[in-house]
Amino acid sequence: MRVLDRKRATMLILLCCLTYSLAYLGRLCYAANLANIIDDFGITKSEGGIVSSFFFFSYAAGQLLNAFLSRYYNPKYVVACSMAISGLCNLGIGLLDSVVAMRFVWLINGIVQSTLWCSILNIQSKYLSQSDISRAIIWNCVTYSIGTMLSYGLSALFTALDITWRMVFYVASVLLVGVAVLWYVGIRYTEVAFHSFGAIEVDEPMPAASPAQGAKPVKLFTKPFVVVFVFACVCAASCAFIRDGVVTWLPKMLIDDFGVSDSLSIILTMLLPEVSFFGAMLVKRMNRVVRGHLRLQSLFFVVAAVMLAVIISLYSLKLTVVTIACFTMMYLMICCVVNLTTSVIPFSVRQYGNVGSISAFLDACCYLGSVIATYVLGLIAETWGWLMVIYVAAGVAVVAIVVSFIGSLFAKRTEMTRNIF
């Protein structure tokens, strides 16, 4: 099998990391400034949250479409164009004074951003060796941390300096267009290097052929695979429901119920996703101890549910430090599940089928969970308060424990499902 050498592989991994990190900046700016936007426009939590829901809905729908079309894309053009359009959408949000108009701009942003993840995983699967893919999984996980740190960090900085929240969107638009150009140039260099001076031969199974290669692809969607895949999709939606519900509404929760200042709440939320790097490292180690990705997910969900139970039991005491610590541990566990769902499982499909297709399906399920979390949890908070939000998240975690464990039992039935799930 022909792959990029170590030097060029590292360059590609870092380019993918930079690109998707800024993609997160282009999609998280709204969530990072949600509290400010609600106050500025004088709207309710649910009205503010529905803008993010428009993004999540279009992203999830786009991912389902990309699951079938991603193998035909040329990532060099698709990713560059999508990042540039996303930059224009961010510029539009910064210029608009209507929340209703913001919904449709963010809807377009979701559509173009839905092409990115599957395209990046496809290009990594095409050019990287198995050892380099292991490195790519770690760096792919870091993208969410970097993007969150940038979006929430810039928001906290501008809030502290009394600069309008719109400035974050202006900065994001410039960075997104810039990285679009960098991506095009970088992938063009990768293609030249792969076909001439920058490739080596390794003894590894060839990835499943795409129609463009003229070879018959491995049959992936067998009945046993589909059954287990459904369980994996439910777990994907569950982990995203918990993760994005916490990231989106934690600043407002800390402000309303714990008396934390606006800028401090944003900083705390900015630092929370940094634990995702440790989540990727933990997954790498635990994979050597626990066999089966779904079984490993069930263990992570158990710890997450316990942390949420502790938060609920101590909520009336308003112990800010303890609450944040429990949220951090819970978030670490959810990051582990996300890493398994969006990177480890898709790359496990490499020798059986299209990595981009599976990643698109699972990512769509993640954003389906995000759609529900962003709007519904905001509505629940308005009606019953923030404690009920935590009860709901804990309930979702308990359901995910059961689903992931049952899925792991079904995964034992065939060799292919054992290898993937």
Reply yes or no on whether the pLDDT at 98 is more than 70.
Answer: yes
How far is residue 391's CA from residue 388's CA, in Å, rounded to a whole number? 5
List the single range of 61-75, 263-277, 350-364 with lowest mean pLDDT: 263-277
How far is the first Cα of the chain from the last one, in angstroms, to the nearest whole number? Answer: 25
Sign of CA dihedral 224, 226, 230, 236: positive
DSSP symbols for 85-147: HHHHHHHHHHH---HHHHHHHHHHHHHHHTTHHHHHHHHHHHH--HHHHHHHHHHHHHHHHHH
How far is residue 90's CA from residue 25's CA, in Å, rounded to a whole number? 10
Element (H, E) at 149: helix 130-160
Closest CA to 94 of 11, 5, 158: 158
How far is residue 355's CA from residue 119's CA, in Å, rounded to a whole number? 9
Reply yes or no on whether the pLDDT at 90 is more than 90.
Answer: yes
Element (H, E) at 200: strand 199-201
Let me know the angle formed at the C-alpha of 116 by 375 and 123, rounded to the nearest 5 degrees: 150
Reply yes or no on whether the pLDDT at 216 is more than 70.
Answer: no
Closest CA to 298 of 246, 337, 243: 337
How far is residue 7's CA from residue 190's CA, in Å, rounded to a whole number? 11
DSSP symbols for 223-249: HHHHHHHHHHHHHHHHHHHHHHHHHHH
What are the Cα distances from residue 8, in Å, to 46, 203, 282? 46, 19, 27
What pLDDT, on the 0 to 100 scale, is given for residue 210?
45
How far is residue 397's CA from residue 102's CA, in Å, rounded to a whole number? 32
Question: Whole domain around residue 276: which residue ranges?
Answer: 2-420
**pLDDT single digits (tens) 271-305:** 776 777 788 788 888 888 878 888 889 999 999 99
Structural domains in the chain (count) = 1
Residue 319 dihedral angles phi and psi, to the nearest 5°: -85, 90
What pLDDT, on the 0 to 100 scale, is given for residue 181?
95
Please give the average per-residue pLDDT across 233-237, as a whole number. Answer: 89
Please give the average per-residue pLDDT across 68-91, as a whole number. Answer: 88
Q: How many CA atoms does the CB half-sphere of 164 hold within 13 Å? A: 11
Pairing of strands 2-4, 199-201: antiparallel
What pLDDT, on the 0 to 100 scale, is given for residue 321?
83
Please give the average per-residue pLDDT across 90-95, as a whole number. Answer: 90
Please give the average per-residue pLDDT across 222-227, as a whole number. Answer: 83
Element (H, E) at 4: strand 2-4
Would you call 272 exposed, middle or buried from its count of C-beta atoms within 10 A (0-12, 13-18, 19+)? buried
Reply yes or no on whether the pLDDT at 246 is more than 80.
Answer: no
Residue 388 belongs to domain with CATH number: 1.20.1250.20
CB atoms near residue 37 (< 10 Å): 20
CB atoms near residue 274 (< 10 Å): 17
Q: What is the CA radius of gyration of the chain?
A: 21
Q: Please give the model's pTM, rounded to 2 decimal places.
A: 0.78
